[in-house]
Structure 1
């Protein structure tokens, strides 16, 4: 499921024909880069791909003042069918990506185990700072958000809070993990 495709098709379906710059401004206005995996700069490439697939079609070319000509796009019937499917997939799919931290924790440097508590504490502080930044930004943009967008912005904060709780639990388990790593190092392989 591609968030950027869902954003473009959904925006054209909801708001009508737009050119790429209008879609970019909308993405910035909705702050999608803060609560989705969309990179605003990637919109133009995604527009080209959607057009090549026939999911959007050019309706006209506009020129305002001295600005370059801009292609205005609208969603096609095939795009609407694809959008219906994407919306459903987006609501059903659960995306939890593997964190490289997990692999690193299982492949510890036994010569640096004494540094592990400070490293974990640093991660907790970073996560807490991310929560504070996210909350601060959410409060700042709250007046511009729909009820659904407000709820979605909370989702990121709740995920970060769950990460802090997990890391705090890890911090409590570290003495046992470190002891286990040292014991495994001292035990020769058969």
Structure 2
């Protein structure tokens, strides 16, 4: 639910306010159903839940040829939640869905904040690789061989992710992307 919540809050925020159908269309355009495993119904549920939690406000608008529509806007609490979810997704390992959602909303952070959380991910991945290497070099004889092979697969994924995270941190340090504290960011555009 966190990845869906993050993406819903982010799209509503970036839109300056949106209807459920707009949020759904935007996320479908991003192909979020693939990389964030979002189902259309979960978008509407996330909007209602975020409104109930005080992260979004709801404004009824007359429909042009049908029932009223609900326009959602992000509250200050919702912006804070969104930023914290991006931070959490960047530093938490073993949750690719949340990482993908956090990357999609990366510009919600200041440059220094983004670098700090990506670097925290780097440190966690490095520590996990050391632990995995030790475990693989001194395996418990009771652990089946195919499980040890699975650890090799995980270590390969972790090495690739580590390389990617280091590269992202470097690109951010070199000025990649328009971040929250840059001119022209979502914070400075009206």
TM-score by length of 1: 0.48
Determine which structure has more spread, i.e. the larger CA radius of gyration: 1
Question: Which one has the bigger helix percentage?
Answer: 1
TM-score by length of 2: 0.48
